[in-house]
Each structure stands twice: as structure tokens, then as C-alpha cells.
């Protein structure tokens, strides 16, 4: 019998759980055009959250605004700062080489492809991102992506955020409960009950008894208590593609309160992995992602301490993970979001983006009744599998382009570890630059512009001579490259330093008008 969806239970109170609960509640708990749906979130005080995901995509601006959280409130509460790019250090040869993945597309990217022409019109040694985007200049000079005169969520240069994950969860929890009407049940689930049709029927909690729902969202983390453990959806490992399986995370205070705040995530390659470095208001979040096959924990500790510039590190959080994802993400009346759906590695902050994508799809396409739930689930699975495929290809690209000689990096470049879809694109891109024709599906995780930043930043060799003869857009490309330089000349005098803007947000706040 088909029934209306009257209650949704989200299991798990990390970032995935509260973002999903908030987006669902905003859309369905108080919609005057429909019967309100009760959104409940169950989390256990006995189960901790990972809590080290501190970088976001620009999509987080829309998510925060959608939830009704003011940008000023978010920055003040979460120690948040602005993120304009990812900076990759020593990923090519390991000899102080650098390239950028900015959040702003190349100047005029929708009008002309800069790839075949940029080297003809710039000084020797100028990188691709320096030539086609003003954002690397902003990052290298510690300039903010906007000024205090801009409104909340208004953009001069495209940006996401760096944030304190634990404080972010607290903000989301308080906002969802007090402003969006999410029912918060702090309790431990002792049993999952399944009915004869294979659907989840209820969760038996220790203090609050049976909790029934029509749809269950599994945000229980890597254990995937509902989708994986209960409904037995298999895990599809990707450890042949990504060989890092461990992370050591710590926090580093600034030497001086007025020290500059990096406006980009810095990813520095090491012999058996890479170190992330994220600047928050009062500290940095630093962590080493590495392969336990190629590096012992003691060696990883030493590498991380050496990067920070100290003898030993006292407070370190160790996280073990297996790269991969569930074969499907929605089965029967259960859908997984966040780590319960899968995880690859922290590179490019894709995990939070996948949470946002999943939560929005569930909220927007929520089935009107249980009869059509299998159709919605089928469409969701198809969309998310494409999304994951795109993330896998893009993250793997960073490793494939490296020329570092250590075993960790050599193993990443073995042919059998590279997905066929990426091999095909790399063959094509010898003669054509990445374009929208390579990514015709609107659910693609990364754009052609992002692929260009990584490809040409890392020195990928394409036949630009043949491309330029085919495209014949040299004059138009030169005009766009000149406009980039003019934009830099303008912004260097109008944008404040990053820390200066953060200080003004804390004291004055952004205008909401």
C-alpha cells in the first residue's frame, strides 16, 4: 500500500546529518502548500564524529543561505575564513613546484578557450592560472575575495570557506532545532527493525523506544549502520585507484595573532602522501594523508612535525579509511549521505560537496508517497554514481600528472590504477583541450575549467599548435588574457587583506541589505 511520507529520520549528527536534516526541514517541515513532514535526527553521545573536514566548495554559500544562516553569524561562530583556491606544492617534481586550482573560471571562458594560446602571450615562467585568472594573484598576496562593503554572500571573486568542523556542527544543530523545527533525539540506536518487504520499519533507541519513519537517511559515518550493515548494500573499494588510507590531523596556533591567513587550501606533496594546511581565524588545521603501505605511523608523525617545524606533535587525531563507495546509495526506504555513502580522500574537499548534492536532491525530489520511491531511488542512484565517477577521475588526475619518483607516486601512475574513463580523456586532451563537450551531463562534479587548471598547471603536454590552427581564436584569447591583467591591477587596490576583512566581519558584520 502506498502511503504519504509523514516522517523522515536522519541517523547521525555530524555535518552530513545536520546539513541533510536542515535542508529537508527548510523544504518540507513548514511548507504551507503541503502537509508538513516531521524531520527527526537521532545522534548518540557515545559515538563521536570525524570532525576534520574544514574546507568547502563555493556551493556552501548557497547551502548556508538556503538554511537561513547569516554569513556574519557563520564566520563569527565557526572561526571561518574564505577559501578561493587549492594550491598544490611539490606535486609535479617535488622541487618547489607550484600550481593552483582557483574557484574563479578563466577570464572569458564561456567565449574563448585560452588553452591553445596562453603561452604565446605571457612572459616565460608564467603559469596557466596566473595567465588566465586573477585569483592566484589574490591568494599569493593574501587578499580577500570581497570587502566589508559587499553584502552577505555577495561575490567579487568566487569563494568557499575554511571552517572549524566541530563548531560548524554545533551551529547547524542549534539552528536546525531552534529555527527549522528539526526534532533532536540524543540517544543510542540498539536495534534496526526491518519489515517483510525489506524496508526499514523503525529504530529501537535505548531511552526513547521505537522510532518509526517512512524514509531513513543514513548519516552514521563509515560504518553505514543502515544501508551497509542492515540492508547489506555492498561497498565498492577504490583502493586500487587511491592508495592513501590514513590521516593524521592536528591544530597549529599562529605565532602571532596578526599573522596572515592563507586564502587557499595548501596541499604539499610528501614521499608517501600529502599534507593539507588550512588557515582559520585563530589556528591552522594541518594533516598528513598517507599510505600505511608506504609509510609507518612514526614516519608520518615525523613528516608532519617536520612540516610544522617542531620536534614532536602532542595532540594528533588518527583517522583510518578505505577509499570507495557503496554500490548504490538509496535502497528501499533508506538513503545514505556522507561517509556512510563513501569516501575517497580529503583532496579538493569533495566530501562536503557530495553531502550538499545528496541532501538537495532528496529534498527537491522527495517522493510524494512510498509507491514512487523506487523510481526516485533509481534516478538518485544513477545521478550519484555519475557524480562519484567524476570525482574519482578528477582526483586521480592530480596523481597521474605527477612525476615524483617515490614508490607511492609511481604506484599511482600504474596503468591498471587509472580508470578507463580518465585514460580516454587524457588521450583526447593530447589534441583537444578540456571543454564543455567532454562534460555534457549536468551532474558532472567538476567543470572543464577545473580540469584545465590541473592539466596545464601540472605541465600536461597538448598539441597547442594544432589546436590554435583549428580554433583560430588567437586575437580573442589575447584580449581575454589582457583583461585578466587589468583585473589584477584593479583588485590589488580595492580588496583588503584576508585577515583585515575577517576582523571587520567580527566587529562590524556584512550588510544584509
| Sheet (strand 235-237) strand order | 235-237, 324-326, 342-343
Span 418-458, pLDDT tens digits: 999 999 999 999 998 998 889 877 778 899 999 999 999 99
Top-confidence residue, 86 or 122: 86
User: Matching CATH topology for 7-54+164-235+325-370 and 246-320?
Assistant: no
Predicted local confidence at residue 31, as pLDDT: 63
Evaluate whether 271 touches 406 at the Cβ level (below 8 Å).
yes
Closest CA to 242 of 409, 88, 89: 409
Closest CA to 423 of 415, 435, 411: 415
Q: CA–CA distance from 468 to each of 113, 115, 289, 436, 447 (Å)? A: 10, 9, 40, 18, 22
Predicted local confidence at residue 224, as pLDDT: 97
Tell the residue number behind the cell numbers 536522519, with chain if given.
10
Question: What proportion of the chain, given as a percentage, has pLDDT over 70?
Answer: 96
CATH topology of domain 7-54+164-235+325-370: FAD/NAD(P)-binding domain (3.50.50)
Interatomic CA distance for residues 307 and 239, integer angstroms? 26
Q: CA–CA distance from 270 to each of 239, 284, 418 (Å)? A: 19, 19, 21
Domain covering 246-320 assigned CATH 1.10.3470 in the classification: no
Span 125-146, pLDDT tens digits: 899 999 999 999 999 999 999 9
Closest CA to 302 of 284, 290, 320: 290
Interatomic CA distance for residues 460 and 162, integer angstroms? 29
Predicted local confidence at residue 1, as pLDDT: 43
Evaluate whether 239 touches 203 at the Cβ level (below 8 Å).
no
Provide the residue ranges of all domains of the chain, joining segments of one domain with +: 7-54+164-235+325-370, 246-320
Interatomic CA distance for residues 510 and 146, integer angstroms? 11
Interatomic CA distance for residues 328 and 402, integer angstroms? 32
Mean of the per-residue pLDDT values of the chain: 94
Q: In the chain, count of helices (H) and strands (E)? A: 15, 21
Tell me the chain's radius of gyration from C-alpha atoms. Answer: 23
Interatomic CA distance for residues 142 and 73, integer angstroms? 23
Evaluate whether 47 touches 91 at the Cβ level (below 8 Å).
no
Cell numbers that stand for 474 in this block: 588567437
Predicted local confidence at residue 368, as pLDDT: 86
**Any residues with CB less than 8 A from the CB of 124 and at least 6 apart, and which?**
none
Closest CA to 92 of 419, 405, 415, 447: 405
| pLDDT for residue 80 is more than 90 | yes
| pLDDT for residue 122 is more than 50 | yes
Cell numbers that stand for 444 in this block: 558532472
Buried b (16+ CB within 10 A) or exposed e, 281-316: beebbbbbbbbeebbeeeebbbbbbeeeeeeebeeb
Amino acid at each position: 500500500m502506498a502511503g504519504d511520507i509523514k516522517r523522515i529520520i536522519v541517523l547521525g549528527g555530524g555535518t552530513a546529518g545536520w546539513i541533510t536534516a536542515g535542508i529537508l526541514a527548510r523544504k518540507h517541515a513548514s511548507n504551507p502548500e503541503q502537509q508538513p513532514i516531521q524531520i527527526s535526527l537521532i545522534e548518540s553521545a557515545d559515538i563521536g564524529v570525524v570532525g576534520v573536514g574544514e574546507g568547502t566548495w563555493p556551493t556552501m554559500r548557497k547551502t548556508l543561505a538556503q538554511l537561513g544562516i547569516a554569513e556574519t553569524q557563520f564566520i563569527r561562530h565557526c572561526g571561518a575564513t574564505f577559501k578561493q583556491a587549492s594550491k598544490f606544492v611539490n606535486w609535479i617534481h617535488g622541487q618547489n613546484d607550484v600550481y593552483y586550482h582557483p574557484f574563479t573560471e578563466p577570464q572569458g571562458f564561456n567565449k574563448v578557450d585560452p588553452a591553445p594560446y596562453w603561452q604565446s602571450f605571457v612572459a616565460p615562467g608564467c603559469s596557466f592560472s596566473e595567465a588566465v585568472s586573477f585569483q592566484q594573484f589574490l591568494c599569493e598576496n593574501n587578499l580577500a575575495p570581497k570587502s566589508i562593503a559587499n553584502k552577505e554572500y555577495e561575490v567579487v571573486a568566487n569563494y568557499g570557506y575554511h571552517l572549524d568542523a566541530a563548531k560548524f556542527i554545533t551551529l547547524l544543530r542549534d539552528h536546525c532545532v531552534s529555527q527549522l523545527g528539526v526534532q533532536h533525539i540524543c540517544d543510542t540506536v540498539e536495534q534496526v527493525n526491518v519489515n517483510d518487504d525489506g524496508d526499514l520499519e523503525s529504530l529501537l533507541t535505548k531511552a526513547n523506544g521505537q522510532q518509526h519513519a517512512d524514509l531513513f537517511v543514513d548519516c552514521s559515518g563509515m560504518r553505514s549502520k543502515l544501508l551497509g550493515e542492515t540492508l547489506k548494500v555492498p561497498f565498492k573499494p577504490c583502493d586500487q585507484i587511491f592508495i592513501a588510507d590514513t590521516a593524521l590531523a592536528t591544530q597549529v596556533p599562529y605565532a602571532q595573532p596578526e599573522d596572515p591567513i592563507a586564502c587557499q587550501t595548501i596541499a604539499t606533496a610528501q614521499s608517501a602522501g600529502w599534507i593539507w594546511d588550512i588557515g582559520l581565524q585563530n589556528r591552522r588545521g594541518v594533516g598528513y594523508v598517507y599510505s600505511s603501505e608506504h609509510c609507518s605511523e612514526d614516519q608520518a608523525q615525523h613528516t608532519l612535525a617536520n612540516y610544522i617545524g617542531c620536534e614532536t606533535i602532542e595532540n594528533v587525531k588518527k583517522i583510518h579509511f578505505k577509499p570507495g563507495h557503496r554500490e548504490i546509495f538509496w535502497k528501499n526506504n533508506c538513503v545514505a549521505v556522507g561517509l556512510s555513502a563513501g569516501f575517497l580522500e580529503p583532496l579538493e574537499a569533495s566530501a562536503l560537496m557530495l553531502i550538499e548534492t545528496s541532501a538537495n536532491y532528496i529534498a527537491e525530489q522527495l517522493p510524494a508517497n512510498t509507491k514512487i520511491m523506487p523510481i526516485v531511488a533509481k534516478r538518485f542512484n544513477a545521478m550519484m554514481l555519475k557524480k562519484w565517477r567524476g570525482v574519482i577521475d578528477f582526483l586521480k588526475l592530480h596523481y597521474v600528472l605527477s612525476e615524483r619518483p617515490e614508490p607511492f607516486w609511481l604506484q599511482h601512475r600504474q596503468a591498471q590504477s587509472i580508470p578507463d574513463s580518465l585514460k580516454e580523456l587524457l588521450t583526447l586532451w593530447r589534441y583537444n583541450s578540456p571543454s564543455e563537450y567532454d562534460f555534457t551531463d549536468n551532474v558532472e562534479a567538476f567543470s572543464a575549467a577545473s580540469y584545465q587548471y590541473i592539466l596545464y598547471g601540472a605541465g600536461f603536454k597538448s598539441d597547442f599548435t594544432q589546436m590554435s590552427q583549428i580554433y583560430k581564436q588567437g586575437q580573442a584569447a589575447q584580449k581575454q588574457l589582457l583583461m585578466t591583467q587589468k583585473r589584477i591591477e584593479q583588485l590589488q587596490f580595492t580588496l583588503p587583506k584576508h585577515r583585515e576583512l575577517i576582523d571587520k566581519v567580527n566587529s562590524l558584520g556584512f550588510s544584509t541589505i
